[in-house]
């Protein structure tokens, strides 16, 4: 390879044999490769960097004072060829490289810096900035003995590119080598979806981008010589956070570029052919693979994720199905097969933009999608690019002094315009308030759990909230008010004008089945009112928003209290009461109307606790009306959450109430053991809670699995009863599983067996609430054991009338 003639020969032969796939000969229209400060041309791979000590002919260099520096000591092995780094050009005053541009459009600018000491110049101390067109590119002070390659991409729309080096006063600037060349069109998208903001697209047409990271997954490095555009792809090893979750894999021959829109210029086969894959073969596992990158706060970033299914083969048909997260925002789900027409090995990439507020990290995660498909979770490559800010800067303290006044003017105008728009908006809002009934008052005549108002007496319109009322209630969806994040979107705490606290769930348009789930949830929730089902307060579908407003549950999710937080653990009694409460909610769903409702997503994260730790079942987005009387099941595509899914439903796709019973059994296990359903940090045999618990107990070691915080508190009889029913819920076959009514009865008897001796303050509150609920006029009983009404002050006739009218539609 040292001999360039030899290399060309090899490339030539390759060309003859595989004209289709080999494009190592990408020939940029504009192509300037300069070995700065050098007196001889240097070949790096197939490319020749020209000497710049003599007067160049193809570009112009205007520099008042300069020095050519050389050194022999730079012999450390470098990706781009160490010979480039043996010379440098030093500038003592502002200096311009000016390149004539033949092809307008995206160009890359690569700046190579490798500081060394030459005469009086210690390049490690050089302080300077570099700008191009109207963008300030870098202000980095070079330091240390490491080479730095900075890559920028600019859309050049004039016929000249001027690259300007400006030394700080008393200092100097330097450069070892530089590349300027045109790149194929699709390397940088014209626009990309903005993560975490509904429907927003970020235009990149005029943006300047700086490459922050270019990573090949699968712990492999791809050298510039092996990339059609001379990119360096570094190994993901150092960015992967939880290394034991990932395993590296490689099958370059599986990559198939034919037919797709993705070419080798996007990323070479050696990038698509290696991947980091989710480690455990358990398809029910729920966790993320995360790579973490250092970034500067206050900028937008473009992330390009490369995927290629090198895992599946035609016989397994497993597919790649992932949910992608950028920091804590979901960037949506990806079903790779449907994007690549199910051609295995076809590459695919996805671009998303994100705004980094005050964080210094950008985390990219891929996790198993909530939608079950026995998927593989993999990532093949990742590029992260920083986008210039409004001031045209890519560096942190932006300085391009000649432009400051202009910038100030623009900023001034922008701020002025913004203030004007804001004033106008406030005015319009104010006028509307005065004319129409107060939009926020929607919350006033609406039922709040326990308040005794009958929601169904208000017309259905009363549920519908104006968007502005929610903006107001949530402080314009302030990040500080976020109380939960899920596949659907974010949940904010809000306060309505009448001071009712509410939970506001705002859907993101990216969630693919968002709209169906949104409708289902509203339909389900408006049909039912029950003490142990979370109450719907309203919804908003203005401006394509998908927002649901619920009663606020002070104590968050059961999951949080069991293992996710610093909360003091729940007592056994509390745990039993919470289990009983949720069982009542589910029992009501299954039996409360002519057709059973199957919740389909029973899990500890969907059981919420109010200020008295009373449990309410939430999240009806996946719920389905059960089978008609003459049928025993509904057939449906499998949905639900990993770890909680009924194995029988998975194999048969036939849904019955018993699937909820299984999932509830898993929740009971979590309650008993105080650990997550899937915990990848544990030894392999313990990762899956259900497998581990059933196995331990079949060996007669029930005590081993009990949450250590409960030891000594549980009476053996209570524990045995609890275990007996949990085990039945987890039965392999639905028909042998108990009904929710049986579960409830058994849980209540576990509570009785525990006895009453350890009354807590909260028991007092709970019983007072029960008597409060007892005043209701209903005489219907939904549980065999419970004699108190579970309906919080809602007249049953109205409820059923409402249900009927819903069903007639």
Annotated binding site, which residues? Answer: 505
Those residues with Cβ within 8 angstroms of residue 206's Cβ, 6 or more apart along the chain or in another chain:
155
Report which of 798, 789, 782, 799 is spatially closest to residue 450, judged by C-alpha positions: 789
Nearer to ligand NAG, 327 or 783 (CB): 327
> Whole-number minimum distance, CB 799 to ligand NAG, in Å?
35
> Whole-number minimum distance, CB 40 to ligand NAG, in Å?
5
Residue spans of beta strands (DSSP E) within 336-467: 347-355, 361-368, 378-379, 381-387
Interaction mask 251-270, ligand NAG, x per CB under 6 A: x-xx-x-xx----------x
158 lines the binding site for ligand NAG (CB under 6 A): yes
Length, in residues, of the chain: 809
317 lines the binding site for ligand NAG (CB under 6 A): no
Those residues with Cβ within 8 angstroms of residue 417's Cβ, 6 or more apart along the chain or in another chain:
none
Annotated binding-site positions for ATP: 505
Residue spans of beta strands (DSSP E) within 66-176: 66-70, 87-91, 95-100, 105-113, 117-118, 121-122, 128-132, 135-138, 148-156, 160-167, 173-175
Is residue 588 a contact partner of residue 533, using CB atoms and an 8 Å limit? yes
51 lines the binding site for ligand NAG (CB under 6 A): yes
Residue 460's SS3 state is helix
Per the annotation, the verdict on 742 as an active-site residue is: no
Residue nearest to ligand NAG (CB): 259
Please count the other Cβ atoms lying within 10 Å of the Cβ belonging to residue 589.
27
407 lines the binding site for ligand NAG (CB under 6 A): no
313 lines the binding site for ligand NAG (CB under 6 A): yes
> Whole-number minimum distance, CB 748 to ligand NAG, in Å?
33
Selected binder of ligand NAG within 42, 106, 231, 530 (CB under 6 A): 106
Phi-psi region of 619 (alpha: psi -120 to 50; beta: other; left: phi over 0): left
CA distance 496 to 281: 47
Nearer to ligand NAG, 223 or 682 (CB): 223
237 lines the binding site for ligand NAG (CB under 6 A): yes
Please count the other Cβ atoms lying within 10 Å of the Cβ belonging to residue 667.
27
Selected binder of ligand NAG within 196, 218, 367, 443 (CB under 6 A): 367
Report which of 447, 448, 456, 614 is spatially closest to residue 532, judged by C-alpha positions: 614
Report which of 302, 298, 363, 365 is spatially closest to residue 334, judged by C-alpha positions: 365
Interaction mask 26-45, ligand NAG, x per CB under 6 A: --------------xx----
> Whole-number minimum distance, CB 198 to ligand NAG, in Å?
18
> Whole-number minimum distance, CB 377 to ligand NAG, in Å?
11
Selected binder of ligand NAG within 13, 18, 46, 117 (CB under 6 A): 117
Q: Taking the mean position of all CA atoms in its chain, how far away is CA 135?
A: 31
| H or E element at residue 801 | helix 796-808
Selected binder of ligand NAG within 133, 136, 211, 688 (CB under 6 A): 133
Report which of 110, 112, 86 is spatially closest to residue 231, judged by C-alpha positions: 110
Selected binder of ligand NAG within 74, 279, 284, 327 (CB under 6 A): 327
Nearer to ligand NAG, 125 or 338 (CB): 125
**What Cα–Cα distance (Å) separates residue 475 from each residue in 200, 340, 433, 491, 536?**
20, 42, 18, 13, 21
**What Cα–Cα distance (Å) separates residue 682 from each residue in 245, 454, 564, 676, 689?**
11, 49, 16, 11, 10
Selected binder of ligand NAG within 65, 171, 316, 807 (CB under 6 A): 316
Triad 798, 803, 808: Cα angle to 5°: 125
Cα atoms in the 13 Å half-sphere on the side-chain side of 391: 22
Selected binder of ligand NAG within 82, 226, 636, 720 (CB under 6 A): 226
> Whole-number minimum distance, CB 695 to ligand NAG, in Å?
24
Query: Could you say which residues in the range 86-105 bind ligand NAG, by CB under 6 A?
Result: 105
Residue spans of beta strands (DSSP E) within 449-598: 482-485, 489-495, 501-507, 536-540, 547-551, 597-598
Triad 571, 575, 576: Cα angle to 5°: 120
82 lines the binding site for ligand NAG (CB under 6 A): no
125 lines the binding site for ligand NAG (CB under 6 A): yes
Query: Could you say which residues in the range 480-509 bind ligand NAG, by CB under 6 A?
Result: 485
Is residue 197 a contact partner of residue 373, using CB atoms and an 8 Å limit? no
Selected binder of ligand NAG within 62, 98, 359, 807 (CB under 6 A): 359
Interaction mask 330-349, ligand NAG, x per CB under 6 A: -------------x-x----
Nearer to ligand NAG, 354 or 746 (CB): 354
Nearer to ligand NAG, 270 or 802 (CB): 270
Q: Could you tell me which stretch among 164-172, 250-258, 561-569, 624-632 binds ligand NAG (CB under 6 A)?
A: 250-258
Nearer to ligand NAG, 135 or 465 (CB): 135
Please count the other Cβ atoms lying within 10 Å of the Cβ belonging to residue 46.
13
454 lines the binding site for ligand NAG (CB under 6 A): no
Nearer to ligand NAG, 241 or 801 (CB): 241
286 lines the binding site for ligand NAG (CB under 6 A): yes
CA distance 269 to 313: 18
CA distance 293 to 300: 14
62 lines the binding site for ligand NAG (CB under 6 A): no
176 lines the binding site for ligand NAG (CB under 6 A): no
Q: Which of 30, 601, 619, 646 is catalytic?
A: 601
- Phi, psi (rounded to 5 degrees) for 602: -75, 120
75 lines the binding site for ligand NAG (CB under 6 A): no
760 lines the binding site for ligand NAG (CB under 6 A): no
CA distance 324 to 196: 12
61 lines the binding site for ligand NAG (CB under 6 A): no
> Whole-number minimum distance, CB 511 to ligand NAG, in Å?
13
Q: Could you tell me which stretch among 74-82, 221-229, 426-434, 598-606 binds ligand NAG (CB under 6 A)?
A: 221-229
**What Cα–Cα distance (Å) separates residue 237 from each residue in 248, 290, 292?**
9, 11, 11
Selected binder of ligand NAG within 65, 98, 328, 760 (CB under 6 A): 328
Is residue 30 a contact partner of residue 99, using CB atoms and an 8 Å limit? yes
> Whole-number minimum distance, CB 296 to ligand NAG, in Å?
13
Those residues with Cβ within 8 angstroms of residue 531's Cβ, 6 or more apart along the chain or in another chain:
449, 584, 585, 614, 616, 773, 789, 790, 791, 792
Q: Could you tell me which stretch among 360-368, 510-518, 562-570, 778-786 binds ligand NAG (CB under 6 A)?
A: 360-368
560 lines the binding site for ligand NAG (CB under 6 A): no
Q: Could you tell me which stretch among 151-159, 428-436, 575-583, 726-734 binds ligand NAG (CB under 6 A)?
A: 151-159
365 lines the binding site for ligand NAG (CB under 6 A): yes
83 lines the binding site for ligand NAG (CB under 6 A): no
> Whole-number minimum distance, CB 675 to ligand NAG, in Å?
14
Nearer to ligand NAG, 342 or 715 (CB): 342
Residue 643's SS3 state is coil
**Strand 128-132 relative to strand 135-138, pairing:** antiparallel
Q: Could you tell me which stretch among 26-34, 312-320, 526-534, 552-560 binds ligand NAG (CB under 6 A)?
A: 312-320
**For binding to ligand NAG (CB under 6 A), which residues are involved?**
40-41, 50-51, 70, 72, 105-106, 117, 122, 124-125, 133-134, 155, 157-158, 190, 205-206, 219, 223, 225-226, 235, 237, 241, 243, 251, 253-254, 256, 258-259, 270, 286-288, 292, 313, 315-316, 325, 327-328, 343, 345, 359, 361, 363, 365, 367, 485
Residues classed as catalytic: 601
């Amino acid at each position: 390879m040292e001999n360039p003639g030899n290399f060309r020969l090899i490339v030539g032969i390759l060309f003859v044999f595989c004209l289709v796939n080999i494009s190592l000969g990408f020939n940029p229209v504009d192509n300037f490769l300069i070995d700065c400060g050098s007196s001889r041309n240097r070949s790096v791979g197939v490319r020749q960097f020209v000497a710049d000590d003599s007067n160049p002919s193809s570009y112009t260099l205007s520099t008042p004072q300069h020095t050519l520096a050389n050194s022999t000591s730079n012999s450390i092995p470098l990706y781009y060829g160490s010979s480039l780094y043996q010379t440098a050009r030093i500038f003592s005053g502002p200096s311009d490289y000016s390149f004539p541009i033949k092809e307008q459009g995206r160009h890359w600018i690569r700046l190579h810096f490798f500081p060394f000491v030459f005469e009086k110049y210690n390049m490690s101390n050089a302080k300077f900035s570099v700008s191009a067109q109207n963008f300030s590119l870098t202000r980095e002070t070079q330091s240390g003995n490491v080479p730095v390659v900075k890559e920028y991409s600019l859309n050049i729309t004039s016929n000249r590119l001027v690259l300007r080096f400006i030394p700080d006063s008393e200092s100097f600037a330097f450069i070892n080598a530089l590349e300027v060349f045109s790149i194929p069109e699709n390397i940088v998208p014209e626009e990309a979806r903005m993560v975490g903001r509904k429907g927003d697209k970020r235009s990149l047409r005029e943006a300047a981008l700086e490459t922050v990271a270019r990573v090949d997954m699968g712990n492999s490095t791809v050298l510039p010589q092996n990339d059609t555009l001379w990119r360096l792809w570094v190994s993901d090893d150092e960015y992967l956070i939880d290394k034991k979750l990932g395993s590296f894999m490689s099958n370059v021959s599986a990559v198939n570029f034919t037919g797709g829109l993705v070419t080798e210029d996007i990323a070479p086969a050696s990038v698509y052919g290696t991947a980091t894959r989710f480690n455990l073969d358990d398809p029910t596992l729920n966790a993320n693979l995360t790579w973490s990158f250092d970034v500067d706060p206050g900028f937008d970033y473009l992330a390009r994720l490369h995927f290629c299914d090198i895992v599946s083969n035609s016989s397994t048909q497993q597919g790649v199905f992932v949910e992608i997260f950028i920091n804590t925002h979901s960037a949506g789900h990806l079903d790779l097969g449907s994007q690549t027409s199910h051609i295995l090995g076809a590459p695919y990439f996805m671009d998303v933009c994100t705004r980094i507020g005050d964080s210094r990290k950008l985390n990219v995660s891929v996790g198993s999608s909530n939608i079950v498909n026995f998927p593989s979770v993999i990532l093949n490559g990742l590029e992260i690019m920083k986008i210039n800010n409004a001031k045209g800067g890519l560096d942190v303290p932006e300085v391009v002094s000649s432009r400051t006044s202009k910038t100030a003017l623009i900023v001034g105008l922008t701020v002025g315009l913004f203030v004007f728009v804001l004033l106008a908006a406030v005015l319009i809002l104010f006028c509307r308030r005065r004319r129409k009934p107060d939009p926020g008052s929607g919350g006033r005549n609406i039922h709040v759990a326990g308040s005794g108002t009958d929601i169904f007496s208000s017309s259905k319109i009363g549920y519908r909230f104006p968007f502005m009322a929610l903006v107001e209630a949530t402080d314009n969806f302030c990040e500080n008010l976020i109380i939960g994040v899920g596949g659907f979107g974010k949940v904010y705490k809000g306060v309505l004008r009448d001071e009712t606290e509410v939970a506001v769930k705002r859907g993101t348009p990216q969630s693919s089945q968002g709209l169906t789930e949104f409708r289902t949830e509203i339909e389900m929730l408006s049909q039912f009112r029950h003490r142990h089902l979370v109450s719907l307060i309203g919804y908003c579908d203005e401006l394509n928003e998908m927002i649901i407003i619920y009663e606020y549950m002070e104590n968050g999710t059961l999951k949080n209290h069991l293992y996710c937080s610093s909360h003091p653990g729940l007592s056994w009694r509390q745990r039993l009461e919470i289990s009983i409460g949720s069982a009542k909610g589910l029992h009501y769903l299954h039996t409360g109307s002519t057709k059973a409702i199957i919740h389909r997503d029973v899990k500890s994260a969907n059981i919420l606790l109010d200020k008295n730790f009373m449990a309410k079942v939430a999240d009806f987005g996946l719920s389905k009306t059960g089978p008609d009387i003459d049928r025993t099941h509904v057939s449906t595509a499998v949905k639900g959450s990993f770890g909680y899914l009924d194995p029988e439903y998975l194999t048969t796709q036939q849904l019955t109430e018993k699937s909820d019973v299984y999932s509830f059994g898993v929740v009971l296990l979590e309650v008993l053991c105080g650990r997550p359903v899937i915990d990848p940090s544990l030894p392999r045999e313990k990762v899956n809670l259900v497998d581990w618990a059933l196995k331990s107990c079949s060996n007669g070691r029930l005590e081993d699995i009990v949450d250590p915080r409960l030891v000594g508190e549980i009476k053996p009889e209570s524990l045995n009863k609890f275990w007996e029913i949990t085990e039945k819920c987890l039965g392999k076959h639905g028909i042998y599983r108990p009904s929710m009514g049986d579960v409830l009865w058994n849980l209540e008897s576990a509570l009785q067996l525990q006895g009453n001796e350890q009354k807590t303050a909260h028991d007092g509150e709970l019983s007072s609430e029960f008597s409060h609920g007892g005043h209701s006029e209903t005489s219907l009983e939904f549980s065999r054991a419970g004699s108190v009404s579970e309906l919080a002050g809602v007249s049953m006739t109205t409820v059923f009338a409402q249900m009927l009218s819903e069903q007639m539609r």
